[in-house]
A and B are shown apart, each in its own frame.
Chain A
Amino acid sequence: TCSSSSTPNFSVPSAEKVDGFPRRSMRRARQRRSHSSSQFRYQSSQVELTPLPLLKDAPVAELHDLFCKKLQQCCVLFDFLDCVADLKGKEIKRAALNELVESVATSRGVLIEPLYPEAIKMISVNIFRTLPPSENPEFDPEEDEPTLEASWPHLQLVYEFFLRFLESPDFQPSMAKRYVDQKFVLQLLELFDSEDPREREYLKTILHRVYGKLLGLRAYIRKQINNIFLRFIYETEHFNGVAELLEILGSIINGFALPLKAEHKQFLVRVLIPLHTAKSLSIFHAQLAYCVVQFMEKDATVTEYIIRGLLKYWPKTCTQKEVMFLGEIEEILDVIEPSQFIRVQEPLFKQIAACISSPHFQVAERALYFWNNEYILSLIEENCQVILPLVFATLYRVSKEHWNQTIVSLIYNVLKTFMEMNSKLFDDLTASYKVEKQKELKRDRERADLWRGLEEHQDRRMQMLTEAARNQRNLQERGERGDPPSPSSPQTSHSDQPELKPSGASSSSSGGGESAT
């Protein structure tokens, strides 16, 4: 409804043209400036920060005390949406954070037990917050600029401190686990939804360290990641940190013990494979495919689940995703065991044939590239007897019909390869192509006939039903008038009315009528 004129323009002087469309570029420009922040309840306005002495100047005896004071100072939060507010306080906090990072990273013996709760408290206060709603409701991670976290100047230092803290040689998991508990980890995972890629990058490294050092939390972390993925797949379809979480999982899978636990297999089949259905697959597909291949390399017996799963979720309309699926299939085939290949070749090559006949040339091309892969080619050759009949008709037809010349010439190469592999089978298939085609047409005709018959049958029955109902009514009316029911009426004897009533009709009335006869 936003067009400037409802009718086509005739010869209108250009000066008269009115442009009613908002310019997209302008909208973009405005967005790029936007920062969002984390909805802190700023309590800082009341608190006035005063600079403390430098850590490096402190006598050893007072070092821990001063460290602790600095941690407490850093618990004060500032309003970054107002960039000129409380500049002095912001600077004091920034300097303190820098010192803390420096101290944890370089000096030994700083991390003593009483500092753990203070450090974790400081980290929690700063990083844990409910993420703001996206500024742009139709945010497209591929197209749009992300909204950046306004308080990043402080937040980055807090993350840096956390990371150094975890990586410090003095770090004692046994002490940390009292404070870095399940609740803490859950909040950490929620932050992966941040729109700011810088924040997700830190979170990724930090979570990886937590997973590595705090063994007691591992199962819990895996379970919560599962929940996040399931919510993403089946409920919200929106979570910014899928790629980062998958990257962590990639290395976790690498470390799984063999044989694979049921829990891990379930994770593959019920979480990783369904992740392929996501609309935003392109953002995390590389990481996802890596995880999938990791699983296969761990345990070849999961191959069939994977391939059948991918075939089940094969994209129907999105060609971009289809190309990604084909890429992943190739990665899988690259490492597949021949014995596993035999188990899946039939459904797999039916799908590949379908891709070859795709009118979208990139899909067809991606599928045909499989024949350039030597390992795949060797698998095809070993199983030529099975595979060639599956793809032959498609290749033959597409070679004659496809609009794109590159595809046609690729297909010729593939056909030539097949001819060289097994010329006898190739000739047989060429000879029977027409006959098969005829058979297929016949089957289609038979199907149409069958359904026509079924529908006529349905119509007949519906008609019988209406007639039966009418007779029933007549009968009842007659009964009310006191006339004897006519025994010669043919419909009354074999009324199958209750069965044939269209659904929704009340049964009790017809049942009553039935018993009356």
Chain B
Amino acid sequence: CCCCNEVGCKPGADGDDSLYPIAVLIDELRNEDVQLRLNSIKKLSTIALALGVERTRTELLPFLTDTIYDEDEVLLALAEQLGNFTMLVGGPEYVHCLLPPLESLATVEETVVRDKAVESLRKISQEHSPVDLEVHFEPLVKRLASGDWFTSRTSACGLFSVCYPRVSSTVKAEIRQHFRTLCSDDTPMVRRAAASKLGEFAKVLELDYVKSDIISLFTALASDEQDSVRLLAVEACVSIATLLPQEDLESLVMPTLRQAAEDKSWRVRYMVADKFSETFVSLQISLCFNCIHSVLTIWLSDLCLLCPVSEQELVSDTNQHVKSALASVIMGLSTILGKDNTIEHLLPLFLAQLKDECPEVRLNIISNLDCVNEVIGIRQLSQSLLPAIVELAEDAKWRVRLAIIEYMPLLAGQLGVEFFDEKLNTLCMAWLIDHVYAIREAATCNLMKLVEKFGAEWAQNTIVPKVLGMANDPNYLHRMTTLFCINALSEACGQDITTKQMLPVVLKMSNDQVANVRFNVAKSLQKIGPVLDSNALQTEVKPVLEKLATDTDMDVKYFAQEAISDANVEQRLVQQAAFIFPADQTCCSLAGSQDRSEQRNTVVSITACNLMNSRIACTNPSQTVSFPNFFQPDLHAPVHSLFSAATQIEFDQTNE
């Protein structure tokens, strides 16, 4: 079969041979200018294609293997290219030809090059037949694993797991031996690499070997002299825990994990905290599969024993990194522990952390409130929660304030409308006049989400008057905030509130002395237009926009004109839609939606799509996009882009 490939491609390849002698191509790959060399390496596949598979194997690859000393940038590109070269050397049966250059690349100093070479090796390992894997690939792994310099041994660590599952048991034993050796390597770099691949390697091993080999390696690495090695071992713990049966965990994994939780290095403790719930979640899932209730109880009691020791240790940790990592996972534990255990063991820790001096710790706790809410209900906590929230809301770092704003809708939903009105409403309004724009913007968005949650009536009574009151603020930034809020709220509040309460304020602001406010009035009118009824549009909005369109400030003029033309296009499109409309079932059902603005958007989108389609059909009939395909992805896209596209098309059509 392979022969007929070669013969088959001869007629085409012959002519090219004379055109592209290898010397010319190699000259390109050797050019003095690094940039040119890099360019040609990046187009290596083009060169290989020109040479044909045989000459790629016999001439190009040996050249590449020999001239591996180059700029790391070039080597990186080469390592990447070679991962996709299988077909260019003649398919899987020749894929092993790629091993020599990749082997050299896997030994270079520069980490990114080495990593890329390993990535490519992992990729092409899948294309090896089992026989080739043993004959060509596995020996390469062994050579790397016993290389002189640490770089090749580091690279070897990433290759064991890809060849292990597909080789014979004798070779498997050798691979395990090599991995063991690297785990106790002389240089910490190699031990780190081995530790970071421990979890991955454990996954492909047979359970017996996981118990005999991996556990001892895990224990050894977790007590390495270097903390950088120890923490990677902790990371591997997550995958090892998923592999072992429940009854073995206590004896095989827990002692090491406990020891790591009390490690003298904060980095290791951090990792334990970070992986805490991840490890336990995996434990719980496997428990569910076992469905043995008694084991569950035993395990739970053990966990409670463990928690007070290690968690309290960690909570009172002096290091804020560790604490904040722990805070983010501690709440995840509540679902595992159940209500009583959570109240007994976690709640005190939780409350202690809410008072922590580091804002990140407090924030992490609050951000995971949903877990607690599920288990014990948030009401239990509301009194302790409030001071923490208030303090975060006024934190000096704006990013902290921003983060707490983002949790407001969630908190509001869980605490209920009364609690919210009483305690949190003032905060939400105060953010609107924050001196950082990002906070004001987030606060606006927050109000919208709150209205969606609590309804238009609530909005009308609580926030709308306050927002509209800001329209008379002496600070123009606050006046603009009113407009931004109106933009965000009009849809959620509905036509009635928008027309009766918001619109008059917006219209009044069109006389503002600051141009920024005026053009934002134009933008707002454009934005809330779809929510208003056509009468208000014609009698109230239009005259104001027309007046703004003659403003002395060019930006005001611009945005006013934008708004006017937008309104016009929309009207026309709606009219046209009547003719083109019944095109597609999906669209029809969407158009029949109760929600008025959704309906309108749908109509407009469909119309725009139709227009575009008909235009495509006119110019190039073969490329007509079928309607549903074209329409679907655009359904949620901003209607605006469709508007402008539609206008353009319309304009073109008129010209034609």
Contact = CB atoms under 8 A, between A and B. Distances in A.
Contacts of B265: 130
A2 B436 contact: yes
Interface string B43-58: 1001101101100000
Contacts of B84: 503-504
A450 interface: yes
B71 A312 contact: yes
B49 A450 contact: no
Contact of A227 (B46, B188, B264, B398): B188
A511 interface: yes
B283 to A, nearest CB: 29
Interface string A270-289: 10001000000000000000
A347 to B, nearest CB: 10
Nearest to B24: A450
B488 to A, nearest CB: 15
Contact of A4 (B53, B436, B474, B555): B436
A234 B88 CA distance: 33
B87 A461 contact: no
A132 B318 CA distance: 10
Contacts of A318: none
Contacts of B519: 7
Contact of B437 (A3, A312, A451): A3
A507 B47 contact: no
Given A457-B50, A514-B1, A22 B90 contact: no
Contact of A461 (B12, B19, B150, B553): B12
A458 B46 contact: yes
Interface stretch (B2-10, B342-350, B410-418): B2-10
A511 B111 CA distance: 38
Nearest to B111: A234
Contact of B5 (A39, A447, A499): A499
Interface in B265-287: 265-267
B189 A227 contact: yes
* Residue with the highest number of chain B CB atoms closer than 10 Å, among A230, A350, A496: A496
B87 A501 contact: yes
B12 A496 contact: yes
B640 interface: no
Contact of A12 (B53, B71, B514): B514
A5 B441 CA distance: 11
Nearest to A495: B8
Nearest to B112: A234
Contact of B319 (A7, A132, A235, A505): A132
A457 B16 contact: yes
A498 B4 CA distance: 11
A212 interface: no
Contact of B398 (A2, A132, A464): A2
Interface in B431-486: 435-438, 441, 474-477
Contacts of A507: 87, 91-92
B87 A458 contact: no
Contacts of A464: 12
* Residue with the highest number of chain B CB atoms closer than 10 Å, among A231, A451, A453, A454: A454
Interface in A467-504: 494-496, 498-504
A262 to B, nearest CB: 11
B515 interface: yes
A4 B437 contact: yes
Contacts of A227: 187-189
Nearest to B83: A503
Contacts of B441: 1
A18 B514 CA distance: 15
B435 A133 contact: no
Contacts of B318: 39
Nearest to B39: A451
A227 to B, nearest CB: 6
Given A2-B398, A503-B85, A504-B84, A451 B43 contact: yes
Nearest to B228: A231
Contact of A503 (B36, B87, B436): B87
Given A5-B516, A18-B435, A499 B52 contact: yes
A122 B492 CA distance: 69
B474 to A, nearest CB: 7
A16 interface: yes
A499 B92 CA distance: 11
Contacts of B516: 5, 7, 9-10, 12
Contacts of B200: none
A105 to B, nearest CB: 32
A20 interface: yes
A43 to B, nearest CB: 13
Interface in B39-90: 43, 46-47, 49-50, 52-53, 71, 84-88, 90
Nearest to A9: B516
A19 B436 CA distance: 8
A454 B50 contact: yes
Interface in B140-156: 149-150
A37 B87 CA distance: 58
Contacts of A133: 266, 319, 321
Interface in B184-234: 187-189, 192, 225, 227-228
A435 to B, nearest CB: 19
A494 B13 CA distance: 12
B109 interface: yes
Nearest to B11: A494
B491 to A, nearest CB: 21
Nearest to B49: A458
A106 interface: no
A186 interface: yes
Contacts of A515: 1
B49 A461 contact: yes
A183 interface: yes
Contacts of B149: 270
A201 interface: no
Interface string B104-127: 000001110000000000000000
Contacts of B627: none
A232 to B, nearest CB: 11
B28 interface: yes
A136 to B, nearest CB: 13
A234 B52 contact: no
Contact of A454 (B43, B92, B437, B474): B43
A22 B189 CA distance: 41
Contacts of B92: 507
A427 interface: no
Contacts of B36: 447
Interface in B521-578: 553, 555
A364 to B, nearest CB: 19
B419 interface: no
A6 B476 CA distance: 13
B5 A16 contact: no
Nearest to A271: B109
B91 A498 contact: yes
B54 to A, nearest CB: 9
A231 B188 contact: yes
B52 A2 contact: no
Q: Which 8 A-B pairs have the closest CB atoms?
A: A496-B9, A130-B265, A1-B438, A503-B84, A20-B436, A234-B111, A507-B91, A503-B87
28 contacts: A4-B437, A7-B519, A9-B516, A10-B515, A12-B514, A130-B264, A130-B265, A230-B150, A231-B188, A231-B228, A234-B110, A270-B109, A270-B149, A350-B32, A453-B20, A454-B47, A457-B16, A457-B19, A457-B50, A458-B46, A496-B5, A496-B9, A498-B5, A499-B5, A499-B9, A500-B49, A511-B91, A514-B4
Given A1-B438, A454-B47, 10 more contacts: A1-B437, A4-B477, A5-B477, A20-B435, A133-B266, A450-B24, A454-B50, A499-B9, A503-B87, A503-B88
Interface of A: 1-7, 9-10, 12, 16, 18-20, 22, 39, 129-130, 132-133, 183, 186, 227, 230-231, 234-235, 270, 274, 312, 350, 447, 450-451, 453-455, 457-458, 461, 464, 494-496, 498-505, 507, 511, 514-515
